[in-house]
Amino acid sequence: MAVKFDQTGEGEFRLDVCGYSCPHPQVYTKKALQKMASGDVLTLVFDNPSSGESIIAMCDNEGNDLYERNTEGGQSIWKIRKA
């Protein structure tokens, strides 16, 4: 179990923080978004529901577009477009 951050395509990134609880997912999401350029898309995979609330607020605050949220079996796959 480790944090995985990969570029999956042109302007597309994937961050997997499954198995980690607060504050890892939100801190790593922030770091990942800092590495990306405006308009890039981050696919975020995590399984700590509490972090989700903070990530929503963080995107709101910074103007990033959280445009897709899927949760199944306790695992969330979210898509964020960096402002």
Per CB under 8 A, residues contacting other proteins are 1-6, 19-24, 26-28, 30-32, 35, 47-50, 52-54, 56-58, 60-63, 71-75
Residue 50 phi, psi (nearest 5): -60, -35
State the nearest-atom distance from the C-beta of 61 to other proteins, in Å. 4
Nearer of residues 39 and 83 to other proteins, judged by Cβ: 83
Least CB distance to other proteins at residue 79 (A): 18
Cα dihedral value 10, 12, 13, 16, nearest 10: -130
CA distance 46 to 74: 9
